[in-house]
Chain A
Amino acid sequence: MYEFVSGPLVWIAFIVFVSGMVYQFVIMLRSAKKDKVIYPYMSLKYSLRSLFHWIIPFASRNMRDRYEVTIVTFLFHICLILVPILLIAHIAMFSFAWGLKWMALSQGSATYMTIIVILACLFFFIRRLMLPEVQFVTYPSDYLLLAIAAAPFITGLAANQQWFDYQTTVIIHMITGSIMLMVIPFTRLSHMLFFPFTRAYMGSEFGAVRNARDW
């Protein structure tokens, strides 16, 4: 079981993730041609201007108004992306298989960052449950996606802290991690791919066509 999940399953997950992202990207480019207004109005300058105002915390009005969401969202996304890539245990796996190596986070900071991801998921869960305007537009799938995002971090932390049988926890961790990777391109988690493009298009419209700011 361990051999399967740490070998073929991870491979499958990466292949599905990468090819799924490429597929969604190509579909988007093709349907952007059909949507006559997109290419003629796209502007690099205004795309970057918009992205800049929306990847810097508090650079847009709504980020300042909803500061609690801004803080949690930024911490969540930074940790969510960095921890899996820079975790010493993950790097060791790659290094063991391919001899590749790169900079790692210290184990202590990785643990804290993992806890941040888990607490952020809890925040999103409570927000979804408690705020009427969020609750109203919540489908069961929104909770499921949140659980899918949280699971690899919860199991990763459990494995690292050896709260339960290590081998079993690691296997569950690898399975949940693979599930998350595989669903990204095909669910709303695909905002990971689409975010820069929706932002860029709106930035171009506001900047190049409407001569106005979009933040």
Chain B
Amino acid sequence: MGLPAIPIVNDPGLDEAVKDLTPEKISNVVNRIIDSETAARFKVYMKTCVHCGLCSDACHWFLSNDRDPRFSPVGKVKQTLWEIIKRKDSLDPAFLKECSRIAHTECNVCRRCSMYCPFGIDIAYLLMVVRRICSELEMVPQFLQDTVNSHSVTMNQMWVKQDEWIDTLQWQEEEAKGEIKTARIPLDKEGADVFYSVIAPEPKILAQLIGNIAQIMAVAKVDWTMPSFDGWDNSNMAMFSGDFETMGRVERYHHEAAQKLKARRIVMGECGHAFRGAAYDGPRWLGWRQPPIPLIHAVDFYHELITTGRIKIARKFKTPVTVQEPCNIVRGRGLGQKLREIIAATCEDFTPPDPDFEHNYCCGAGGGVINCGPPWKTSRVKGNRVKAEQLADTKAQIIITPCHNCHSGIEDIISGYKLGMHVKFFSEILMEVMEIPDEMRA
């Protein structure tokens, strides 16, 4: 068909692991996963797909790579699962590297395609089965596997030690107190209304976000706490590598930390995948129909603070803004409308992206793809040209992105396509516009 060659990327996580694989090892894992870990969904999806290709237009990878059929959702399933099923017992190790490349680095499991399949086949789930097989064969991109190892050892994604965690919180409390006298970060407080959890990159590289939330909580007079112990990190890369055992442990720690502190509810920081893990993939793996303690995303929380008047807006944000609607909270939790409402309440000049709401394009970073690290960055940015075009069309200067993956992914797209825009979390907007009573000011 004359398709361009896909650049070969060297990734030690795959290139070293592949040397230990044999067709027997592969066939053992494939048979175990297919026979004992999948059931009706997998089997019916495989039988029902009529190879119509109608899911293609859903995928930003397909659209951005000039409609290259290898990047369409069903094209990815064909190159991985259909081959796996067809040649179960004679799969060569090199093929597994292809599977990992496709499933881990060229699919964001954003689930947009299941809205385009006439049968509602959950194609992202099928790609997750491929990831599971790859993970069980230790075929996971190195950077992604490193975060999983960190989860497994430290219960957080970035090798943050407990003393560093507490130290960072105290430092940020000091910073917040410098602005607002009453700002505190209450550690291990029992029975608080809000148990606030963040992803590990916050203490590691974006600590000011914790200081921001301390100020917001103080102004809104929220009764809140954070744990000093493991379970504070709500992120979960094991969910995306295919290491579901570790994924389950991480989610259990998070929920149990809140239970230990007898919190009334969990409020999660601005991160999409973390919310998906805590609300959705985690409970399912653990056999919980619903999370044991009510769980809401920051967008929901800010909506509550603003609509109930606990946070008042002093002046609206003037610079033109648009929004990156994170898949895992908009398509994954229907928070699109609330997100619009808090933007309308705080920003003067908002232009929606097109398409939007459930039909928004993924940032290209989610689903663990950005965590596959620098080796895969070029293909990731190339694979989301449609996002760059969509953002440029809004002519906004600031893109509000209430998700960490989106935040980093959109920044890469902005620099890759020279859009000259900037990315902000919603809390950063809120910090600029909320009314701080004079008596609170330091």
- In whole Å, how far is A213's beta carbon from the nearest beta carbon of chain B? 5
In the bound complex, do residue A28 and residue B44 qualify as a contact, i.e. CB atoms below 8 Å apart?
A: yes
- Report A115-153 residues with CB < 8 Å from chain B CB: 131-139, 142
In the bound complex, do residue A136 and residue B333 qualify as a contact, i.e. CB atoms below 8 Å apart?
A: no
The 5 sampled A-B contact pairs (Cβ below 8 Å) are A34-B40, A63-B118, A188-B48, A191-B119, A214-B114
1/0 per residue, CB under 8 A from A, across B38-58: the answer is 111111110111111110111
Is there a chain B Cβ closer than 8 Å to A190's Cβ? Answer: yes
In the bound complex, do residue B48 and residue A191 qualify as a contact, i.e. CB atoms below 8 Å apart?
A: yes
In the bound complex, do residue A32 and residue B332 qualify as a contact, i.e. CB atoms below 8 Å apart?
A: no
- Report B98-133 residues with CB < 8 Å from chain A CB: 114-116, 118-122
- Given the known interface contacts A198-B119, A210-B334, the answer about A31 and B51 at a Cβ–Cβ threshold of 8 Å is no
Segment with Cβ contacts to A, from B69-77, B174-182, B387-395: B69-77
Is there a chain A Cβ closer than 8 Å to B284's Cβ? Answer: yes
Nearest residue (CB) in B for A192 is B48
**Docked pose: A142 CA to B334 CA in angstroms:** 37
Residues of A within 8 A of B114 (CB): 202, 214
- Report B207-250 residues with CB < 8 Å from chain A CB: none
In the bound complex, do residue A198 and residue B48 qualify as a contact, i.e. CB atoms below 8 Å apart?
A: yes
- Report A28-64 residues with CB < 8 Å from chain B CB: 28, 31-38, 40-41, 50, 54, 60-63
Of A33, A135, A203, the residue contacting B120 (CB under 8 A) is A203
1/0 per residue, CB under 8 A from B, across A189-215: the answer is 011001101110111011001111111
Is there a chain A Cβ closer than 8 Å to B359's Cβ? Answer: yes
- Given the known interface contacts A31-B39, A188-B50, A195-B48, the answer about A40 and B122 at a Cβ–Cβ threshold of 8 Å is no
Other contacts beyond A133-B69, A188-B48, A203-B120: 5, CB < 8 A: A65-B57, A133-B62, A139-B51, A202-B121, A213-B357
Residues of B within 8 A of A66 (CB): 54, 57
Is there a chain A Cβ closer than 8 Å to B289's Cβ? Answer: yes
- In whole Å, how far is A191's beta carbon from the nearest beta carbon of chain B? 5
The number of chain B residues with a CB under 8 A from chain A is 51
In the bound complex, do residue A133 and residue B53 qualify as a contact, i.e. CB atoms below 8 Å apart?
A: yes
Residues of B within 8 A of A61 (CB): 115-116, 355, 359
A-B complex: 4 closest residue pairs judged by Cβ atoms: A202-B120, A211-B334, A136-B69, A35-B39
- Given the known interface contacts A31-B39, A142-B51, A210-B332, the answer about A136 and B118 at a Cβ–Cβ threshold of 8 Å is no
Residues of B within 8 A of A37 (CB): 41, 284
**Docked pose: A61 CA to B57 CA in angstroms:** 11
Is there a chain B Cβ closer than 8 Å to A69's Cβ? Answer: yes
Is there a chain A Cβ closer than 8 Å to B330's Cβ? Answer: yes
Residue numbers of A with Cβ under 8 A of B are 28, 31-38, 40-41, 50, 54, 60-63, 65-66, 69, 73, 131-139, 142, 188, 190-191, 194-195, 197-199, 201-203, 205-206, 209-215
Residues of A within 8 A of B330 (CB): 212
- In whole Å, how far is A72's beta carbon from the nearest beta carbon of chain B? 11
Residues of B within 8 A of A33 (CB): 39
**Docked pose: A135 CA to B114 CA in angstroms:** 20
Residues of B within 8 A of A136 (CB): 1, 53, 69-70, 72, 75, 78
**Docked pose: A136 CA to B119 CA in angstroms:** 20
Of B75, B118, B287, the residue contacting A62 (CB under 8 A) is B118
Residues of B within 8 A of A210 (CB): 280, 331-334
Of B39, B42, B69, B334, the residue contacting A137 (CB under 8 A) is B69
Is there a chain A Cβ closer than 8 Å to B67's Cβ? Answer: yes
Residues of A within 8 A of B336 (CB): 212
In the bound complex, do residue A138 and residue B51 qualify as a contact, i.e. CB atoms below 8 Å apart?
A: yes
Interface-central residue, A54, A135, A190, A206, by most chain B CB under 10 Å: A206
In the bound complex, do residue B122 and residue A202 qualify as a contact, i.e. CB atoms below 8 Å apart?
A: yes
In the bound complex, do residue A212 and residue B57 qualify as a contact, i.e. CB atoms below 8 Å apart?
A: no
Is there a chain A Cβ closer than 8 Å to B358's Cβ? Answer: yes
Nearest residue (CB) in B for A193 is B48
- In whole Å, how far is B274's beta carbon from the nearest beta carbon of chain A? 16
Residues of B within 8 A of A133 (CB): 53, 56, 62, 67, 69, 72, 74-75
In the bound complex, do residue A199 and residue B115 qualify as a contact, i.e. CB atoms below 8 Å apart?
A: no
In the bound complex, do residue B51 and residue A212 qualify as a contact, i.e. CB atoms below 8 Å apart?
A: no
Residues of A within 8 A of B334 (CB): 210-213
**Docked pose: A133 CA to B71 CA in angstroms:** 9
- Given the known interface contacts A62-B115, A135-B69, A190-B48, the answer about A35 and B333 at a Cβ–Cβ threshold of 8 Å is no
Residues of B within 8 A of A62 (CB): 54, 57-58, 115-116, 118
Residues of B within 8 A of A209 (CB): 280
Nearest residue (CB) in B for A134 is B53
- In whole Å, how far is B374's beta carbon from the nearest beta carbon of chain A? 30
Nearest residue (CB) in A for B77 is A137
- In whole Å, how far is B413's beta carbon from the nearest beta carbon of chain A? 23
In the bound complex, do residue B115 and residue A32 qualify as a contact, i.e. CB atoms below 8 Å apart?
A: no
In the bound complex, do residue A213 and residue B40 qualify as a contact, i.e. CB atoms below 8 Å apart?
A: no
- Report B1-18 residues with CB < 8 Å from chain A CB: 1
In the bound complex, do residue B41 and residue A38 qualify as a contact, i.e. CB atoms below 8 Å apart?
A: yes
- Report B233-284 residues with CB < 8 Å from chain A CB: 280, 284
- In whole Å, how far is B33's beta carbon from the nearest beta carbon of chain A? 13
Residues of A within 8 A of B67 (CB): 132-133
In the bound complex, do residue B48 and residue A137 qualify as a contact, i.e. CB atoms below 8 Å apart?
A: no
In the bound complex, do residue A134 and residue B52 qualify as a contact, i.e. CB atoms below 8 Å apart?
A: yes
- In whole Å, how far is A146's beta carbon from the nearest beta carbon of chain B? 10
**Docked pose: A31 CA to B72 CA in angstroms:** 28
**Docked pose: A139 CA to B52 CA in angstroms:** 11
- Given the known interface contacts A31-B43, A194-B44, the answer about A54 and B120 at a Cβ–Cβ threshold of 8 Å is yes
In the bound complex, do residue B39 and residue A32 qualify as a contact, i.e. CB atoms below 8 Å apart?
A: yes
**Docked pose: A102 CA to B212 CA in angstroms:** 73
Residues of B within 8 A of A137 (CB): 51, 53, 69, 72, 74-75, 78
